[in-house]
Amino acid sequence: KYQRDNAGINSKISRIEGQKRLNKLFNDKTFEEVLADPAWKARYLPKGIGNGKSAGTSDDAVILLYTRDLIYDSTAHVEVYQQLMIKILTAAGVRHWTEYDYTFMGNMNTLRVLKPNGTVISPDKQGSYVVVKNLEPGDVIQIDGVQEWEQQTELDQEFVFTHYISFEAPVFYHKFEVALPANKYMGYHYHKLDSALKKTSHDGFDFYSWEYNNIPKIETEEAVPDVFDLYGSILISTMPDWSKLTGWYAQTTYGKLEMSYEIQEALDSIIHPQMNQQQKAEAIYNFLTREINYSYVPFLQSGYVRSEEHTSE
C-alpha cells in the first residue's frame, strides 16, 4: 500500500495466493510464442542469415513484441501492463540498445537478456535506465512492466491517453488493448495508423483491442517542429465532446481576466486619446515586451509577472 512504486513489488503481489490481478482479463502472446514464430526470421534477419534464405532486411534491431493492456475501472483506478521484446541484429543495434531509458514501461518486473546459447543475464538498472553489458548481435531483451495511478478528478475523472506505437526499430507484433466499465463511452483517434479495432465485452468491461504487424521504424527528419508527429499513435478519451473541459476552464478562470486597477493604471500611462488603433496596439506591445517577463508558476495563477528590474527603473 505504501511502497507500490518500488520496482518488483507488483510481481511479488501477483504471486500472493488469491490476489486478483486485473491483467488476467487480457489474453496476450507470450515471449516464447513470438520467438518461435518463423515469420519474423524470414522478414527481419539480416540477408544471408537464418533458414538459408537471402530474404530479410538490414535493420539493426527489431521489436519482436510490444503489448500494452490498460484497464480503467469504475473507481477511476488505472493499471497498465506491458511486454517488450527486442532482437538485436547488428553491431549498430548493440550500440543503440546497450543503454536505453524505458520510462514508458513503468515498474519493470521482468528484465533479462537471452543469449543465443540459452544463457540468461540480468542487465544493470537504475530507475528506468537500463545498461546491458556485453550486448551482442543475436541477443534478445525481454521486459515486462506495470504502471498504476488514480485518475485526476478535475473533470469528473474523465480519461485521456495517447499510446505511441512506433520505435527506432520496426515492430513485428504489437497489441494495444483498453478495458473500461461496460457501456462507458470511449472515443479514439489514429495518427499514421489504419483502424484495426476489435471490440468485445466480458467480466463487466468493454474491451477495445488493436493489433498490428510489421510496423515500420520511424524515419527521423531534421528540424521537425513536433517530434511526436513522427510516431504512429492512438489517442483515446472518455469525453464525447469539449463541453466538460470548456465548462471547467470557464469556472476555474472566472475573474482572472477582469480589469484591475493596476491594469487600468498601466493602460492610462501608455494610451492617449489621439492615438489610432495601430498606435495603441504598438504601445501595448512595447509595454508588454519591455515590462513583463515570463516566470513559471502553477497553471491558471497568472504565468506572467512584472519584471522587478524594469519596475525599479
Read out DSSP for the chain?
---TTSTTHHHHHHTSTTPPPGGGGS----HHHHHT-HHHHHHHSPTT-STT-S-----SEEEEEEEEEEEE-TT-EEEEEEEEEEEE-SHHHHHHHSEEE-GGG-EEEEEEEE-TTS-EE--EEETTEEE-TT--TT-EEEEEEEEEEEPPSTTTT--EEEEE---SS-EEEEEEEEEEETT---EEEEES----EEEEEETTEEEEEEEEEEEPPP---TT-S-GGGGS-EEEEES-SSSHHHHHHHHHHTTTTTS--HHHHHHHHHH--TT--HHHHHHHHHHHHHHHEEE----TTS-SEEE-HHHHH-
Residue 54 pLDDT class (50, 70, 90 cuts): very low
Amino acid letter for position 215:
I
Average pLDDT rounded to a whole number, residues 39-61: 68
| pLDDT of amino acid 176 | 97
| pLDDT of amino acid 252 | 78
Query: 276-303: buried (b, 16+ CB within 10 Å) or exposed (e) per residue?
Result: eeeeeeebeeebeeeeeeeeeeeeeeee
Q: Which residue has the higher pLDDT, 186 or 11?
A: 186
Alpha-carbon distances of 168 from 59, 60, 64, 69, rounded to whole Å: 10, 9, 13, 22
Residue 57 pLDDT class (50, 70, 90 cuts): low
- % of the chain surpassing 70 pLDDT: 82
| pLDDT of amino acid 302 | 53
Residue 52 pLDDT class (50, 70, 90 cuts): very low
| pLDDT of amino acid 253 | 76
| pLDDT of amino acid 146 | 92
pLDDT in tens, 151-206: 877 788 899 999 999 999 999 999 999 999 999 999 999 999 999 999 999 999 99
Q: For the whole model, what pTM was predicted?
A: 0.76
| pLDDT of amino acid 139 | 97
Q: Which segment of 126-135, 189-198, 237-246, 255-264 scores lowest on mean pLDDT?
A: 255-264
Q: Which segment of 191-200, 223-232, 237-246 scores lowest on mean pLDDT?
A: 223-232
Residue indicated by cell numbers 488493436: 210
Average pLDDT, the chain: 84
Q: Which segment of 17-31, 70-84, 133-147, 168-182 scores lowest on mean pLDDT?
A: 17-31
Q: Is the pLDDT of residue 17 over 80?
A: no
| pLDDT of amino acid 22 | 73
Q: Is the pLDDT of residue 7 over 70?
A: no
Q: Is the pLDDT of residue 239 over 80?
A: yes
Q: Is the pLDDT of residue 118 over 80?
A: yes
Q: Is the pLDDT of residue 293 over 70?
A: yes
- % of the chain surpassing 90 pLDDT: 61
| pLDDT of amino acid 8 | 52
Average pLDDT rounded to a whole number, residues 109-120: 94
